[in-house]
């Protein structure tokens, strides 16, 4: 089975976001970049599928040189091959999907994290699938493959749905699908000297322009009360009469 | 004439609230708005007239009954071409998030997911959307001829305004080839309102001290008719399912009213709920970061405050 896992590098979840001088993106000063948390499940699933069905796992990312770091993590976890599609200019989601589709053209299955926690578009898997004219399933929390038949259990608003599709396909995975392995120290050391294949970005024109970035305005009422019975009654009154929220 | 095609979804004999929100958001831009319903009958659409929709396409094809997102995407793209839409809009619910990216590829359109505001400016639309789970807001604009935009549920309030509605049947071309992924089963969390669909959310955190104390959260949620949410800490501790987790690695929500009970307010949690309209925090630590984003706060032990608050609300709401 030819398995391609698409991963991305994102700011650590503890990052306090500040806006860069250009007013359009976050300032990267002092920001720690990590492997997108959901991509750990994608990599693990790829490795487990290889263990079951044989074949190879290729990890692909679109980004600058710094993104090699997450490819090293993927290699340490056990992928066979790592590919960096060089794109220093931050591509929009279509640009990323276009590059990923090119890299996954020969894949039996392409696996992504359910969302990348920077731009949260949730759209890259479906976009990649559409570009490849393949079926897809998103937010997969359970997966079974029998021959070319794929059954995926997917999280939807307020429940789950079961989707039947066939290989080749694209899936995005959710927490709960598996328990990602921790790379062992010797594997981390070995990964440092493994090759990373670099490819040029297809360089498609961006379809969405970012005009500006701002921090959310907080205009909260900010009334803090104690915990006496009178305070609790006052909170109920405020919610009812002032905020009209109940 | 600039036109927006809004993808509508049926619920019972009417439309989902998120679809009514999408109609309102689209009408507010000043564009001509055309609806598209692909999963219901004419009677489902009638409710939309009360929200200012003047025209709706009713897609008819036997294969639309197959629940398949590529099929829905194909029908929407065809309707967008047919109505010469400049924009296609849909709710950013789980269905919309799955279908809209495909529509964008089919129409060679730019795609803006999860918009929280729309502004019509010089013949195009500028949308704001959260990034980094709400830690930042970006203003974005589509640079292609056609654009696809999904709208975050619960952010745009559906407004009533009467209109006379014309319904036109529309027959998309769909082949069995299009059905390569289909939904074969759905299980709803019976009796449990999901945080992504809720107008009121009551969330608990580590301050509850033990899983069994979660009944305090559930009682409050029940009195308010709200959903139960959780901080990452309690999900990681195995007290609650991941489907309830709110925050950067869980769900991002914007209810009208959000209760954070015994949640200190780690930056990842704040990211997931800071766009809520009214935020109430209950925490015994007066310096907890959650109070910085709260409209109303109670400094106290939630194990003592919650039963009293639930009772006081029950009396006020007469339940």
Query: What is the model's pLDDT at position B53?
Result: 97
Q: Are residues A150 and A228 in the same domain?
A: no
**B295 or B252: which carries more pLDDT confidence?**
B295
- Average pLDDT for A171-184: 96
Q: Which residues of B touch A206 (CB under 8 A)?
A: 143
- The answer to whether position A206 is within a domain reads no
Query: What is the model's pLDDT at position B1?
Result: 67
Instruction: Name the minimum distance, in Å, from the CA of B165 to any CA of chain A.
Output: 30
- pLDDT of A205-235, one tens digit each? 999 999 999 998 778 999 999 999 999 999 9
Instruction: Name the minimum distance, in Å, from the CA of A194 to any CA of chain B.
Output: 31
- Average pLDDT for A67-74: 98
Taking each continuous run of H as one helix and of E as one strand, the counts in chain B are: 8, 18
Query: What is the model's pLDDT at position A83?
Result: 98
Of A100, A56, A54, A60, nearest to A78 by C-alpha is A56
Percentage of chain A modeled with pLDDT above 70: 100
Q: Which residues of A touch B143 (CB under 8 A)?
A: 205-209
Smallest Cβ–Cβ distance between A208 and the set B69, B93, B143 belongs to: B143
- The answer to whether position A209 is within a domain reads no
Query: What is the model's pLDDT at position B319?
Result: 63
Could you say which residues from 97 to 136 on chain A have a Cβ atom under 8 Å away from some Cβ of chain B?
97, 117-127, 129-131, 134-136
Query: What is the model's pLDDT at position B106?
Result: 97
DSSP for chain A, written as a single string? -EEEEEE-EEE-TT----B-TTSSSB--TTPPEEE-HHHHHHHHHHHHHHHHH--EEEEEEEE-GGGHHHHHHHHHHT-SEEEEEE--S---HHHHHHHHHHHTTT-SEEEEES--TTT----HHHHHHHHTT--EEEEEEEEEEETTEEEEEEEETTEEEEEEEESSEEEEE-TTS--PPPPPHHHHHHHHTS--EEEE---PPPSEEEEEEEPPP-----EEE-SSHHHHHHHHHIIIIIS---
Smallest Cβ–Cβ distance between B184 and the set A164, A175, A220 belongs to: A164
Query: What is the model's pLDDT at position A119?
Result: 85
Q: Are residues A47 and A105 in the same domain?
A: yes
**Interchain proximity B132–A232, CB inside 8 Å:** no
Smallest Cβ–Cβ distance between B136 and the set A174, A209, A215 belongs to: A215
d(CA B205, CA A105): 44
Number of folded domains that form chain A? 2
Query: What is the model's pLDDT at position B194?
Result: 85
> What is the band of A121 on the pLDDT scale with cuts at 50, 70, 90?
confident
Q: Are residues A232 and A177 in the same domain?
A: no
Of B187, B29, B215, B27, nearest to B123 by C-alpha is B29
- The answer to whether position A141 is within a domain reads yes
Q: Which residues of A touch B181 (CB under 8 A)?
A: 135-137, 163-165, 169
- Average pLDDT for A95-115: 96
Of A42, A44, A9, nearest to A28 by C-alpha is A9
Q: Are residues A9 and A121 in the same domain?
A: yes
Percentage of chain B modeled with pLDDT above 90: 83
Average pLDDT for chain B:
94
Smallest Cβ–Cβ distance between A216 and the set B101, B142, B274 belongs to: B274
* ipTM given for this complex: 0.93
Q: Which two tokens stand for residue B143?
A: 């640079």
**The pLDDT of residue A100 is above 70:** yes
Query: What is the model's pLDDT at position A122?
Result: 87
Query: What is the model's pLDDT at position B216?
Result: 97
Q: Are residues A84 and A15 in the same domain?
A: yes
Q: Are residues A69 and A138 in the same domain?
A: yes
Query: What is the model's pLDDT at position B193?
Result: 83
- The answer to whether position A205 is within a domain reads no
Instruction: Name the minimum distance, in Å, from the CA of B19 to any CA of chain A.
Output: 15
- The answer to whether position A162 is within a domain reads yes
- pLDDT of B44-94, one tens digit each? 999 899 999 999 999 999 999 888 999 999 999 999 999 999 999 999 999
- pLDDT of B176-233, one tens digit each? 888 888 899 998 877 678 898 889 999 999 999 999 999 999 999 999 999 999 999 9
Of B197, B158, B170, nearest to B26 by C-alpha is B158
- The answer to whether position A183 is within a domain reads yes
DSSP B157: P
Query: What is the model's pLDDT at position B291?
Result: 96
Q: Are residues A72 and A159 in the same domain?
A: yes
d(CA B256, CA B248): 19
Q: Are residues A136 and A231 in the same domain?
A: no
Q: Which two tokens stand for residue B252?
A: 């991002």
d(CA B71, CA B179): 6
Q: Are residues A12 and A97 in the same domain?
A: yes
- The answer to whether position A211 is within a domain reads no
Q: Which residues touch A174 (CB under 8 Å, ≥6 apart)?
A: A38, A41, A114, A139, A140, A141, A154, A155, B242
pTM: 0.91
Which residue is listed with tokens 């696996």?
A111
Q: Which two tokens stand for residue A26?
A: 């976050």
Query: What is the model's pLDDT at position A90?
Result: 67
DSSP for B249-260, written as a single string? TSB----SEEEE
Q: Are residues A101 and A167 in the same domain?
A: yes
Containing domain of residue A18, as a range?
A: 2-200
Q: Are residues A158 and A236 in the same domain?
A: no
Query: What is the model's pLDDT at position B192?
Result: 78
- pLDDT of B115-142, one tens digit each? 999 999 988 999 999 998 888 999 999 9
Asked if B262 has any chain A CB less than 8 Å from its own CB, the reply is no
Q: Are residues A13 and A129 in the same domain?
A: yes
Smallest Cβ–Cβ distance between B131 and the set A119, A134, A224 belongs to: A119
CATH of the domain at A29: 3.40.50.620
- The answer to whether position A24 is within a domain reads yes
Asked if B226 has any chain A CB less than 8 Å from its own CB, the reply is no
**Interchain proximity B138–A212, CB inside 8 Å:** yes
Query: What is the model's pLDDT at position B40?
Result: 87
Asked if B100 has any chain A CB less than 8 Å from its own CB, the reply is yes
> What is the band of B15 on the pLDDT scale with cuts at 50, 70, 90?
very high
């Amino acid at each position: 089975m030819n398995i391609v896992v698409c991963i991305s590098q994102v700011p650590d979840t503890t990052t306090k976001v500040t806006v860069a001088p250009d007013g359009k993106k976050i300032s990267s000063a002092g920001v720690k970049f990590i492997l997108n948390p959901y991509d750990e499940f994608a990599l693990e699933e790829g490795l487990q599928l290889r263990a079951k069905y044989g074949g190879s796992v290729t990890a692909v990312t679109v980004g600058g040189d710094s993104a090699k770091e997450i490819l090293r993590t993927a290699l340490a976890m056990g992928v066979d091959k790592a590919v960096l599609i060089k794109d220093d200019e931050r591509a929009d989601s279509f640009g990323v999907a276009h590059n990923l589709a090119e890299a996954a053209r020969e894949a039996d299955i392409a696996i992504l994290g359910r969302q990348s926690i920077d731009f949260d578009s949730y759209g890259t898997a479906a976009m990649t699938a559409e570009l490849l004219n393949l079926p897809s399933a998103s937010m997969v929390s359970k997966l079974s493959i029998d021959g070319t038949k794929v059954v995926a259990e997917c999280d939807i608003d307020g429940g789950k749905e079961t989707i039947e599709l066939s290989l080749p396909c694209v899936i995005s995975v959710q927490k709960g699908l598996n328990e990602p392995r921790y790379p062992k120290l010797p594997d981390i050391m070995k990964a440092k000297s493994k090759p990373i294949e670099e490819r040029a970005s297809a360089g498609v024109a961006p379809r969405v322009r970012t005009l500006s970035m701002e921090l959310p305005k907080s205009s909260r009422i900010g009334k803090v009360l104690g915990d006496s019975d009178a305070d609790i009654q006052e909170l109920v009154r405020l919610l009812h009469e002032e905020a009209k929220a109940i | 004439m600039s036109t927006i095609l809004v993808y509508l979804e049926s619920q019972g004999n009417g439309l989902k609230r998120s679809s009514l929100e999408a109609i309102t958001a689209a009408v507010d831009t000043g564009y001509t708005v055309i609806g598209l319903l692909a999963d219901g009958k004419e009677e489902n659409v009638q409710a939309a007239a009360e929200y200012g929709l003047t025209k709706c396409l009713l897609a008819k094809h036997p294969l639309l009954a197959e629940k398949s997102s590529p099929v829905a995407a194909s029908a929407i793209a065809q309707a967008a071409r047919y109505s010469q839409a400049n924009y296609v809009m849909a709710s950013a619910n789980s269905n919309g998030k799955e279908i809209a990216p495909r529509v964008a590829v089919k129409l060679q359109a730019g795609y803006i997911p999860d918009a929280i505001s729309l502004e019509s400016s010089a013949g195009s639309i500028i949308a704001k959307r959260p990034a980094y789970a709400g830690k930042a807001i970006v203003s974005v604009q589509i640079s292609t001829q056609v654009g696809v935009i999904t709208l975050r549920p619960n952010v745009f309030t559906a407004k009533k305004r009467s209109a006379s509605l014309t319904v036109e049947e529309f027959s998309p071309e769909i082949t069995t080839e299009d059905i390569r992924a289909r939904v074969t089963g759905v299980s709803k969390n019976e009796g449990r309102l999901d945080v992504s669909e809720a107008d009121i959310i009551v969330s608990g955190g580590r301050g509850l001290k033990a899983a069994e104390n979660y009944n305090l959260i559930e009682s409050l949620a029940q009195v308010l008719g709200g959903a139960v949410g959780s901080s990452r800490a309690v999900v990681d501790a195995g007290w609650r399912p991941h489907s309830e987790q709110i925050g950067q690695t869980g769900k991002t929500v914007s209810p009208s009213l959000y209760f954070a009970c015994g949640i200190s307010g780690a930056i990842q949690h704040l990211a997931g709920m800071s766009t809520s309209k009214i935020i109430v925090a209950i925490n015994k630590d007066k310096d907890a970061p959650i109070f910085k984003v709260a409209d109303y706060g109670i400094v106290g032990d939630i194990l003592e405050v919650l039963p009293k608050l639930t009772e006081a609300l029950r009396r006020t709401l007469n339940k």
